């Protein structure tokens, strides 16, 4: 390897001291980091490490397409434009972005999950954890699939936890809940494709 090649590699070496709000790599060689996994934010158009994006099972890479900063900004702007919304509610239909469907787990109570909808599942988990001796964890998030909440609740009604005031907790594992959600998403997508591809019937 030539001296020029070594100098080129040295200039691309990533350092924790780099500005974390700016692009981590030159625009001409975003793949140069190799071992670092980066992703383009559709909001600020920055190439950022995947840790800068919320978890979202809808996407193949498991992360939302907006970085946390852009997502939270859009979320706050949506809340300001809907002053009549209940701040603690995660079922508003007037937000700027469609609700995501989420699966939340209380690590202290294995075998039970909460299936609900919110624009910002991570923020919702923080709201529900506030003032309690536990910290809820978002296990899965499905962007723009909040409309499937009622479908999942209906299918799991026999598994609903009756000992608590909430109606969104069910006695199923995270894996079982994820399987049911993915099945509901696939069923919805197939039904939409069937309607789109259906040809009009010719009149006799």
In sequence order, which residues have a C-beta less than 8 Å from that of residue 112 and are 6 or more positions away?
105, 106, 161, 169, 170, 171, 172
Residue 160 burial (CB < 10 Å; 0-12/13-18/19+)?
A: middle
Question: Domain containing 138: what range?
Answer: 75-196
In a domain, 16, yes or no: no
Does residue 62 have a pLDDT over 80? no
Return d(Cα 31, Cα 40) in angstroms, integer.
12
Residue 37 located in a structural domain: no
Residue 156: is its pLDDT beyond 60?
A: yes
Decide: 136 and 105 in contact? Cβ < 8 Å. yes
Task: Specify if 15 maps to a domain.
Answer: no
Instruction: Report the percentage of the chain scoring pLDDT > 70.
Output: 64
Q: Distances in Å between the alpha carbon of 59 and those of 54, 67, 102, 125, 175?
A: 11, 14, 14, 21, 17
Report whether pLDDT(179) > 60. yes
In-domain check, residue 28 = no
Look at residue 13 and tell me if it is in a domain.
Answer: no
What number is the average pLDDT over the span 96-106? Answer: 88
Distance CA 34, CA 162 (A): 50
Asked whether residue 25 is assigned to any structural domain, the reply reads: no
Structure tokens belonging to residue 76: 């706050």
Q: Give a yes or no: residue 57 inside a domain.
A: no
Task: Report if residue 175 sits inside a domain.
Answer: yes
What's the rounded mean pLDDT across residues 24-43? 56
pTM of the complete model: 0.54
Closest residue by Cα to residue 71 from 87, 89, 93, 55:
55
Model confidence band, residue 193 (pLDDT cutoffs 50, 70, 90): confident
pLDDT band at 195 (very low <50, low <70, confident <90, very high): low
Number of domains making up the chain: 1
Given a cut of 60, whether residue 74 has pLDDT beyond it is yes
């Amino acid at each position: 390897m030539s001296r020029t090649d070594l100098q080129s590699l040295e200039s691309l070496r990533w350092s924790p001291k780099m500005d974390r709000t700016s692009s981590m790599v030159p625009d001409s060689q975003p793949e140069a980091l190799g071992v670092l996994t980066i992703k383009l934010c559709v909001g600020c158009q920055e190439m950022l490490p995947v840790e800068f994006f919320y978890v979202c099972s809808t996407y193949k890479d498991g992360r939302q397409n907006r970085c946390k900063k852009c997502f939270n900004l859009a979320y706050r702007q949506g809340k300001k434009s809907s002053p009549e919304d209940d701040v603690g509610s995660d079922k508003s239909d007037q937000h700027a972005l469609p609700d995501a469907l989420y699966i939340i787990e209380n690590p202290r109570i294995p075998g039970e999950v909460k299936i609900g909808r919110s624009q910002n599942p991570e923020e919702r988990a923080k709201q529900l954890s506030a003032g309690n001796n536990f910290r809820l964890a978002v296990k899965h998030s499905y962007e723009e699939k909040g409309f499937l909440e009622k479908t999942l609740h209906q299918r799991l009604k026999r598994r609903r936890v009756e000992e608590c005031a909430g109606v969104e907790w069910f006695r199923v594992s995270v894996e079982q809940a994820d399987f049911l959600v993915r099945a509901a998403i696939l069923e919805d997508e197939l039904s939409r494709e069937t309607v789109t591809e259906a040809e009009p019937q010719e009149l006799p």
